[in-house]
Amino acid sequence: MEKGELKILNKGEEEEMELQGYRLCRWRLALVGFGVLCTGGFLLLLLYWMPEWCVKSTCTRTTARDAEVVLLRSTDEFRRWFLARVRVMLAPGSNPFHSLETQTTSPSSSPSSPSSPFSSPSPSPLANGHTPLPSDGSPAQELIRKFSDYQPTQIRYFTFHSTKYYWNDEMQNFKVLTGLEDLEVSCSTIHSEHSAGLTRNQQEYRRLFFGVNEIAVKVPSVFKLLIKEVLNPFYIFQLFSVILWSADEYYYYAVAIVFMSVISIATSLYTIKKQYIMLHDMVAAHSIVRVSVCRANNDVEETLSTDLVPGDVVVIPSNGTIMPCDAVLISGTCIVNESMLTGESVPVTKTNLPNPLPGEQEGADSAYNTEEHKRHTLFCGTNVIQTRFYTGELVKAVVVRTGFSTAKGQLVRSILYPKPTDFKLYRDAYLFLLCLVAVAGIGFIYSIVLSVMNEVPAKTIIIESLDIITITVPPALPAAMTAGIVYAQRRLKQIGIFCISPQRINICGQINLVCFDKTGTLTEDGLDMWGVQRVEGGRFHLSEESAHKENLVKSQFVACMATCHSLTKIEGQLSGDPLDLKMFEATGWILEEATEEETALHNRIMPTVVRPPKQLLPSQPDVSAEQDMELAELSSLYEIGIVRQFPFSSALQRMSVVSRTLGEKCMDAYMKGAPEVVASLCKKESVPENFAEVLEGYTKQGFRVIALAHRRLGSKLNWHKVQNVNRDYIEANLEFLGLIIMQNKLKAETPGVLQDLHRANIRTIMVTGDNMLTAISVARDCGMILPEDTVIIADALPPHDGQAAKITWRYADKPSRTTRFEEINISLENEGHVEELKTQQLYHFAMNGKSFAIIAEHFPDMLQKLVLHGTVFARMAPDQKTQLIETLQGVDYFVGMCGDGANDCGALKRAHSGISLSELEASVASPFTSRTPNISCVPSLIREGRAALITSFCVFKFMALYSIIQYISVTLLYSVLSNLGDFQFLFIDIAIILLIVFTMSLNPAWKELVSRRPPSGLISGPLLFSVLTQIIICLSFQTITFLWVQKQPWYEVWTPATDVCNHSDHLNVSELNSTEVDEHNIQNFENTSLFYVSSFQYLIVAIVFSKGKPFRQPSYKNWPFVLSAVSLYFFLLFIMFHPVEGIDKFLEIVCVPFEWRLKLFLIIVVNAAVSVLVETFILDIVLWKLAFSRDKQANYGVTPAAPTPQGVIDLQAYKCLFRLCPRKTTPKARYMHLAQELSVDPDWPPKPTTTTEAKPRPENGSAYEIIIHS
């Protein structure tokens, strides 16, 4: 193995990293130590900020296996560096799932396990078969003593982001050990090998690797947080500035900056500490609870949850608990509230893991996976409300994952170690700061040259030249940049939107596409029963309003409606999925669950029983006197017991139950689900021929359609066999019973909000798990698709029987019929410059989850073209929603996602801005959570995002100008060996800058969304033009002032004896300060003139930059800002025209003639007029319009909404621009570039009578072939 070999950790996962091994080198350490001493500790700081430099300067490269230190680098776009120390622990074995007894008795003879992630001299068989997950080096000595015959093994590991990585000899790499899943154990293996529990020795041994079962969010001490905060490069720069100012005797300003820094650090520490405490309290609720654990000898013992390890079997108490780990149910059922993880408050029923019998088909016994088997998995942090259990056989679950490996642990890790927010604004801000540093460099050299020429002492040269750098990089910049976001967060909270990731507020200002879930988001959560349409003998009956009729009470159709659900009673109230509730309520039946006392009397689980009310049952004939009364009562009873549930699965799109009618020998299977899926599992003869037409008729009208089916099971299938039977066995050869038609009403706010978004050129997309035609109908109803727009459905088929994958294109309203074929090739090459854009074609693509998966796999570059106009994505699984978000981001959209938090967790977290409509304030599934249960929060969030983004630009531009204006003043004064005074600096930085910067951020968002977006970065034409023109204006007027004052007839080099104002008593005051004046030369005419002009310039640029419409409310509505600006203007004009001796003395201002004050006032007025003229008229009217017309999505045929009159005008303007500027332009965003290509492609969009086939080309992706049907 090469020394320089690079290892990849977590390959293909979100946390993929490159790893390099290093060994500490003593002579390098000594050299670095010497360097640290020589640089006064600065080198140590540099190595702290740059982990890669730290490792490379103190270590030498080695193999990963022998590494003492590992250097990690993320493979994402941020390419961040981390270092971790490799540790060694001693354990009596090398694999946590080996049996210690086996190892000690026969260490050499035991066969090697292929699944073992660790190699040891003598590997032994798995005791309870899984893959290890390590622990902290908890004392292993006692265990080693117990098994003294076995040679202790050295195990190498390192900890990174609360996860342990162990060296794996087989893989020759470090590996994370998560728990039971790593072994890919099958469901039947969990039942056969893991349901007995562990011995105490096995548990202790595993704990060496897995550690304490705890999501330990350690709240750092204030001292630790303080050190971390103070070592921020910015505060180090401030410390450097303070030392420098103190050396130059600018004590007051230094103290003011220290005071500001202390407040800033204290606020930051308070916020960080509060967040840590909140997170700690959130996870502490379940971290230590008492649990009952089954031991291998059938004993049940009480222990603390912190002792649990994967493989332990825990007993779930009947009164419920908060889960301390991830565990899979192996017996019984539980009702769980998972709102902590998903934001969904509807309780979920969890059933025991299926245990396929050996004789059943192989596909049934799949490897256990928490995602696939989540309906059988109890997740850490979720609340088990109640359990249904067996007598003698308690509700048991096998621990699958513990600590940070659990679902909640991963969630907490993502909060503790968030990815940096990649946003152009922040990248540009650093670039801008570098530009300021470059400007400072020029001033630095200029001041040195000037001072040397004037023979200034060396100490003064050093201090004054370094002072230029501290002036150019403003110390209040980070606090000022954060202010706008903090205010926006506060405003969002007032309208019921909570944010756990404040940095994302700015990104919300860039959103140009929003994906919406349908049910519960665009439409009402609840469904109303519209009617039913039963099937008998393979034919549809006429539709009926309800099934609540006497003649139907004993029909299979009503029995299916009454039994096929996951409802349960919690405190006497029916609870469960809203659809199930509506369906059950429509039958009018009664649901009864067994009490604990009743359950204890039976040898098996008491089923949930459903029965019709007595008044619905047909009346019984008169009972003869000799007949047994009890028997008659029994015969009149009609109730059905639900024996086994197969819960609803998003992937399978169906649920089923096995039930038994009282008095019947055979059991029945009932199924409900998506009509297409249910029909495919039924006998063909039982499905009506016109099934597709009837279904299409309902879905086109926007109804939610559920199909029902039934099957009579054989008498051999007894209760015990049913508990272990495979789902696929039950869900086959069913009889089709008919359709339930539910109405899903649009929320009142939906059409209006979507109209607002369309007007603002923000695309809207529907991503739902519902039927395609229903989704298209809802999209039309809510205005997402306009009535005159065409919808093209993409039906993709996977390759089969040697045929390539293909896509059939058809209209949603007119399904195509196929006949003759002819072939055409689609060219995918760029056609070059687009002289004129095609008139926007109003078409939309729609597809289901299956087609989406096939297109993503076989037509990857076609997918990017489809998402440009894809509006409806139906039958989408949760992971496909996430994949769609990634595809949209891949073509440079800024994507928002709005969902109810249930199936949308992945998509909500992946989008630039995920908004969960949940009543739970602490829904950690998405960055934003809205208490308002409708989509009206989306425009509000985008408006606030835009306002926060524009505020960030305003503040940054203002801070840049502030530092440049001060830099110009100081540079000009340096030429006469003068400077600004200590209190002048103090007045400018505290009274003007801080007051203005914190009030100019208070402008609320504009009341409506406009059709243009703010720029995403500082490095854009209009913004640079704005900053540069204002710099030139300020430079010009300061230079004019500086030169003009020296040309005045009364001008002379100022001394304490100077009296140009004819104030004879002024001499005495000046003489008192003669020593100070002599030393720093602060008091002179140039200083006073520049102080007045520059002070007004700060206020002028603040007003000019504080933009209002179209993204923020006008500045005159921001009364704190107006009050601050007016007060400062009044104060400055007052001291300029009416000198006050005390103020003049404090600010070290000298008296100047009245006519010069009038001239200064004239300079200030002209300066203000020029600044306003350039910013408002030239920039806003000419440059912004030009830049924004280029940025419009509508110009690229991307927005599905009909073009507004303004859009048409902009399109014409854009064409004119092309004629005026015939140079080749390529749009920056990839979606614009693609739209430009497609606008000149005659074969796009594909005609509805065509089929596109995949024709793979080995050398370069795939080509397509269109086959046209006449």
- In terms of DSSP bridges, do strands 703-712 and 735-743 run parallel, antiparallel, or are they unpaired? antiparallel
Amino acid at 361: Q
In angstroms, the CA 543 to CA 741 distance is 9
Beta bridge partners, 896, equal 514, 913
CA 413, 416, 417, 420 dihedral sign is positive
Of the candidates 806, 871, 880, 872, the residue with the CA atom closest to the CA atom of residue 850? 880
In angstroms, the CA 606 to CA 524 distance is 35
**Token pair in block for residue 572:** 């006497």
Helices (H), 389-476: 407-416, 424-453, 458-472
**Which of 517, 580, 770, 900 is labelled catalytic?**
517
Number of Cβ within 10 Å of residue 1130's Cβ equals 10
Number of Cβ within 10 Å of residue 1007's Cβ equals 8
Are the beta carbons of 210 and 133 closer than 8 angstroms?
A: yes
Q: Tell how far CA 1047 is from the center of its chain.
A: 63
> What is the rounded end-to-end Cα distance, in angstroms, of the chain?
63
**Token pair in block for residue 161:** 């982001």
In angstroms, the CA 1201 to CA 761 distance is 8
Q: Tell how far CA 630 is from the center of its chain.
A: 63
Q: Tell how far CA 442 is from the center of its chain.
A: 43
**Token pair in block for residue 487:** 């205010």
Could you confirm whether 517 is annotated as catalytic? yes
CA 165, 168, 172, 175 dihedral sign is negative
Residue corresponding to tokens 């190892």: 103
What b/e string do you get for 497-529 counting C-beta neighbours within 10 Å, with b at 16 or more? bbbbebbbbbbbbbbbbbbbbbbbbbbbeebeb
In angstroms, the CA 773 to CA 533 distance is 18
Are the beta carbons of 561 and 586 closer than 8 angstroms?
A: yes
183, 189, 190, 195: CA torsion to nearest 10: -130
Amino acid at 100: L
In angstroms, the CA 659 to CA 95 distance is 45
In angstroms, the CA 470 to CA 490 distance is 33
Amino acid at 671: M
Q: Helix, strand or coil for residue 362?
A: helix
3-class secondary structure per residue, 1125-1163: HHHHHHHHHHHHHCCCHHHHHHHCCCCCCHHHHHHHHHH
Amino acid at 225: L
Amino acid at 854: I
26 sits in the region (left: phi over 0; alpha: psi -120 to 50; else beta) called alpha
Output the CA–CA distances (angstroms, integers) from residue 491 to 412, 503, 945, 1029, in the order listed: 27, 15, 11, 33
**Angle, alpha carbons 1025-1028-1034 (nearest 5°):** 135
Number of Cβ within 10 Å of residue 8's Cβ equals 12
What angle, 0 to 180 degrees and rounded to 10, lies between the N-to-C axes of helices 849-858 and 878-890?
Answer: 50
- In terms of DSSP bridges, do strands 790-797 and 703-712 run parallel, antiparallel, or are they unpaired? unpaired
Q: Where are the beta strands (DSSP E) in 577-635?
A: 590-592, 608-611
Q: Which residues are catalytic?
A: 517
